[in-house]
Homo-oligomer: A and B are copies of this chain.
């Protein structure tokens, strides 16, 4: 199973692709970010996200998409901007026929470390260990996207 994890955002969107074998062992395929310039209009930035994500899916051929879901937000403006990008991400995944799953940050923490109060550094360290990497993937958004992908693989394994 090849899983594409997404940490949505308009300025920087993290993606991480992993393969999960029959035994549940996860390996890194690719990870990175899509960046869009602050100066651009929302519509231009959303088009860039859509086009680049389309290319990533076409090239890496995941069958499942695991997207981080905002559960609540302190800053409504940020929440609205992230949600616009999420809308485009979900649309793109659906158009490519991917199975879509959404997890809250707490579910991702629980799925990876077994408890919901782990901090960002602990999550990233677990991502590194689970994928057998020398270093934590950079930037943070790429690591967060991998965490979303790993969360889905562990959820599937448990059920």
* A residues at B contact (CB < 8 Å): 41-44, 46-47, 50, 70, 72-73, 76, 79-88, 90-91, 93-95, 100, 102
A91 nearest CB neighbor, chain B only: B46
A-B contact pairs, 6 of them (CB 8 A): A44-B94, A46-B87, A47-B95, A76-B76, A76-B79, A79-B83
The answer, among B41, B44, B88, for a CB contact under 8 Å with A88, is B88
Are A43 and B73 touching (Cβ within 8 A)?
A: no
- Measured in the bound complex, the distance between the Cα atoms of B80 and A91 in whole Å is 15
Whether the pair A84, B76 counts as a contact (CB closer than 8 A) is no
Known: A79-B80, A83-B84, A86-B87. 19 other contacts (CB 8 A): A41-B100, A43-B90, A43-B91, A43-B93, A43-B94, A43-B100, A44-B94, A46-B91, A46-B94, A47-B91, A47-B94, A76-B79, A79-B79, A80-B82, A80-B86, A81-B83, A84-B86, A84-B90, A87-B88
